[in-house]
A and B are shown apart, each in its own frame.
Chain A
Amino acid sequence: MKKSEPLESWERPIPLSLLFMVALAVHLPLLLMKLPLQSYDTNFHIFFSSHYVDHWFDPWNTKWFAGFSQATYPPMPHYWIAVLSRIMGLDLAYMAVQMIAILLLVVGVYRFSLLWVRPRAASIAALASIFLGSESFLIYNAGQLPTTTAAPLYLIALPFLYEWLRHGHGRPFIKATVLFIAAAAGHHLTLLFGSFIFALPVVGLALLDRRDGESTSASLILGRAIAIVSAVSVIIGVVLLPFWLSLLHHPIDQTTIPHASRANFILSPEWGLNYFILPYGALILAVPFIFIRGSSETRLRPLLFGFWVTFILGLGGTTPLGHWLLGHAFEVLTMERFSYWAGLLALPFVGLLSVKLIDRFRFWAVGSLAVMAVWTCAMGVAWGTYRITNARDVNVNVVADWLNRGGHDQYRYFTLGFGNSISRLAVMTDASSVDGEWYTGRLLPELTRYGGASLTQAKYFGTAGLESLRAIMMHADKYGLKWIFSNDPYYDPLLSLAGWRPVDYLDNKTITVWAKDGVPPAMPVNVAQRPPRWQGLIWGTLPFGSSILAILVFLIPERRRKQTRAEYPMSEDEVETQRVAS
Chain B
Amino acid sequence: MMFGDLTRNDKLLFLGFTIAALAMPLLAWPVGANYPDLLQKFAIYGIFAIGFNILFGLTGYLSFGHAAFLGVGSYAAVWMFKGVTMNVIPAVIFGVMVSGLFAALIGFVSLRRSGIYFSILTLAFAQMSYNLAYSVLTPITNGETGLQLRQDDARILDRMFVEQTEGLPSTNLFGLEMSGYPGFYFCCVLLIVAFFIALRIQRSPFGMMLRAIKTNQVRMNYTGFNTRPYALTAFIISGMYAGLAGSLLAVTDPLAGAERMQWTASGEVVLMTILGGAGTLVGPILGAGLIKYFENIFSSYNDSLLAESFSFLPDFLNDALVFVIGPFVGEGWSLLLGIVFMAIVIFLPGGLMEGLARIHGWYRGRGQGDAGRNVAKQAAE
Bound pair (A, B): no
- Residues of A that sit less than 8 Å from B by CB: none
